[in-house]
């Protein structure tokens, strides 16, 4: 099948490459000419495991091309996936739909045949309906365009496997023909047993924000428990293990620490709050305000604990920060808890040295103040405190004995509860973490 993918960022580039990989003829479209050039050359413009391989394979095979021209997209296919960003508005909690609207407004007058536009971006409930009216107003006479919503659940770091083998496919459409067409698009996934949930657009839009709200709530719940543990000497890691054995609860997304960030969870729960208020049902999801507040509180708690570990002052201290991205296996620093903590500490005038395996370029752009290092040892040299803020696998593999030889003070704050504290302790480190008792 011929299809286009409009917006080729973290979501769209992977979707385009995966759609080509399952045999479709794909044209990716983005307004960012630099990104288009990279992708067209078969190179991933960001770090995502497995993406370079499928990009190269499919651009070489001629099944995957990229352009900046929406007119070319309208000409190329009758099926268009929309994957542009829906960030938080600068002036409110609501989602900024200007990119999605720009695509619909731009595409409508260019369409010369009946077409289907399928949104994958995360949008407030009701968006499909309003975009359907919007596109109808811009179409040439005699041309029809339907809009459906097919929210995306991929996780950065696992985006390729999540796209090729998602937990489920959700499609919200009003006409049966749309459902059939999308079943054809995703036929290899359906054949492999991926559940397909065909529903109305409002439900589809809600599935995505409800899923993210649930995950965010689970994380904030355990982080609230971590604070209670800190006040009582209880251990949140054991608590989480014990809770997790209950199949109704489950252990995943129950790791206490610095909390969630990135370009999705925080803005999605805020947009949900804003949309619920517009719908006069804000009370129903008002708990999400607490989820957001508890989450942001972990960043402050981490900074406060770091200060205490340094004798109540950052002045004249050298602080090593391990991790800048919002999660491992990504170079994404959008709303990164790690970078937020680094920024807070750098703002005190402390000498902050940041290491990240993939996120340094983005981190430097977002936060120019600290020194950035490509080598963990360089970042930690002469440190008065080491902060472990993003749970990259390689940080768990650090030899704490070797590291203790180059720092000034062997104190580590493991804000992700991911280091082996016994091993670090045995190597002479003072190990602290949120919600965990500490050896005195
Ligand atoms: P992103 O910022 O990485 O990518 C958005 C892309 O859209 C950019 O490359 C931008 O240049 C392009 N763009 C903007 N306006 C355009 C236009 N008018 N025409 C063509 N291209 C345009 O964002 P992302 O992380 O890929 O997220 C996109 C959407 O997917 C958001 O709604 C997000 O919530 C959702 N989502 C993201 C993820 C994720 O893990 N990143 C997962 C699921 C859902």
- Would you say 8 is a known binding-site residue? no
Judge contact between 335 and 261, C-beta under 8 A. yes
pLDDT in tens, 218-233: 999 999 999 999 999 9
The mean pLDDT value of the chain amounts to 97
- pLDDT, average across residues 40-69: 97
Q: Does the structure show a pLDDT above 70 at 171?
A: yes
- Residue 9 in contact with ligand 1 by CB distance below 6 A: yes
Which residues lie below 8 Å from residue 364, measured CB to CB, with a gap of 6+?
Answer: 372
Known catalytic residues are: 264
**Confidence label for 439 from pLDDT (cuts 50, 70 and 90):** low
Confidence label for 438 from pLDDT (cuts 50, 70 and 90): confident
How far is the centre of ligand 1, averaged over its atoms, from the C-alpha of 287 (Å)?
A: 27
Inform me whether the pLDDT recorded for 37 exceeds 50. yes
355: left (phi over 0), alpha (psi -120 to 50) or beta: beta
* CATH 3.40.50.720 intervals, the chain: 2-199, 296-433
Instruction: Please give the CATH topology (third level) of the domain spanning 208-292.
Output: 1.10.1040
Selection from 284, 14, 19 nearest residue 125 by Cα: 284
In the chain, list all ranges with CATH 1.10.1040.10: 208-292
Q: Which of 74, 84, 157 to mutate to test the pocket of ligand 1 (most atoms within 8 A of CB)?
A: 84
Which ligand 1 atom sits closest to the C-alpha of 84? 7
102 contacts 85 by C-beta, under 8 angstroms? no
Question: What does CATH list as the number for 296-433?
Answer: 3.40.50.720
Residue 227, SS3 per DSSP: helix
Nearest residue (CA) to ligand 1, atom 25? 10
pLDDT at 126 exceeding the cut of 80? yes
Mean pLDDT computed over 126-144: 98
**Residues 350, 318 contacting (CB under 8 angstroms):** yes
pLDDT tens-digit readout, 202-255: 999 999 999 999 999 999 999 999 999 999 999 999 999 999 999 999 999 999
* pLDDT of 329 above 80: yes
> Residue 440: which pLDDT band, with cuts at 50, 70 and 90?
very low
Confirm whether residue 76 is marked as ligand binding. Answer: no
pLDDT exceeding 90 applies to what percent of the chain?
99
Residue 426 has pLDDT above 50, yes or no: yes
Contacts of 17 (CB under 8 A, 6+ apart): 26, 51, 54, 55, 58, 64, 160
Q: What is the mean pLDDT of residues 360-366?
A: 98
What DSSP state is assigned to residue 110?
A: G
pTM score, whole prediction:
0.96
- The C-alpha angle with vertex 131 and arms to 129 and 135, in degrees rounded to 5, equals 125
Between CA 266 and CA 276 the distance in angstroms is 16
Question: How does residue 176 score in pLDDT terms, banded at 50, 70 and 90?
Answer: confident
What is the share, in percent, of the chain residues with pLDDT greater than 70? 100
Residue 80 and residue 118 in contact, taking contact as beta carbons nearer than 8 Å:
yes
Asked if 391 contacts 323 with a C-beta cutoff of 8 angstroms, the reply is yes
Average pLDDT over residues 129-133: 98
CATH homologous superfamily for 2-199?
Answer: NAD(P)-binding Rossmann-like Domain (3.40.50.720)
Consult the annotation and say whether 154 binds a ligand.
Answer: yes
């Amino acid at each position: 099948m011929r299809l286009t993918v409009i917006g080729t960022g973290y979501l769209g580039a992977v979707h385009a490459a995966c759609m080509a990989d399952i045999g479709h003829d794909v044209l990716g479209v983005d307004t960012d000419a630099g990104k288009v050039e990279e992708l067209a050359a078969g190179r991933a413009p960001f770090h995502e495991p497995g993406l370079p391989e499928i990009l190269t394979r499919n651009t070489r095979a001629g099944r995957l091309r990229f352009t900046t021209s929406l007119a070319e997209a309208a000409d190329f296919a009758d099926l268009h996936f929309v994957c542009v960003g829906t960030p938080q508005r600068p002036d409110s909690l609501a989602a900024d739909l200007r990119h999605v609207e720009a695509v619909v407004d731009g595409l409508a007058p260019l369409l010369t045949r009946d077409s289907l536009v399928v949104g994958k971006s995360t949008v407030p409930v009701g968006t499909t309906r309003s975009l359907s009216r919007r596109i109808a107003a811009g179409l040439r006479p005699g041309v029809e365009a339907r809009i459906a919503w097919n929210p995306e659940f991929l996780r950065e770091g696992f985006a390729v496997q999540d796209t090729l083998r998602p937990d489920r496919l959700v499609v919200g459409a009003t006409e049966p023909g749309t459902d059939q067409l999308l079943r054809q698009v995703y036929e290899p996934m359906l054949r492999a047993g991926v559940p397909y949930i065909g529903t109305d657009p409002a439900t589809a839009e809600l599935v995505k924000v409800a899923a993210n709200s649930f995950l965010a709530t689970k994380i904030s719940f355990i982080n609230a428990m971590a604070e209670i543990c800190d006040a009582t000497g209880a251990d949140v890691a054991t608590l989480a293990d014990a809770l997790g054995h209950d199949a109704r609860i489950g252990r995943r997304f129950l790791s206490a620490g610095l909390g969630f960030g990135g370009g999705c969870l925080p803005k999605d729960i805020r947009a949900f709050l804003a949309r619920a208020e517009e719908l006069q049902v804000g009370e129903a999801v008002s708990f999400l305000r607490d989820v957001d507040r508890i989450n942001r509180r972990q960043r402050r708690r981490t900074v406060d604990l770091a200060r205490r570990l340094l004798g109540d002052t950052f002045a004249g201290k050298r602080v090593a920060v391990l991790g800048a991205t919002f999660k491992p296996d990504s170079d994404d620093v959008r709303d990164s808890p790690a970078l937020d903590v680094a920024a807070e500490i750098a703002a005190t005038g402390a000498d902050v040295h940041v290491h990240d395996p993939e996120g340094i370029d983005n981190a430097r752009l977002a936060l120019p103040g600290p020194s950035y290092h490509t080598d963990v040892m360089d970042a930690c040299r002469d440190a008065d405190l080491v902060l472990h803020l993003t749970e990259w696998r390689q940080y768990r593999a650090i030899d704490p004995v070797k590291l203790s030889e180059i720092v000034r003070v062997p104190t580590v704050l493991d804000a992700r509860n991911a280091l082996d504290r016994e091993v670090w302790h045995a190597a002479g480190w003072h190990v602290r973490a949120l919600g965990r008792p500490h050896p005195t």
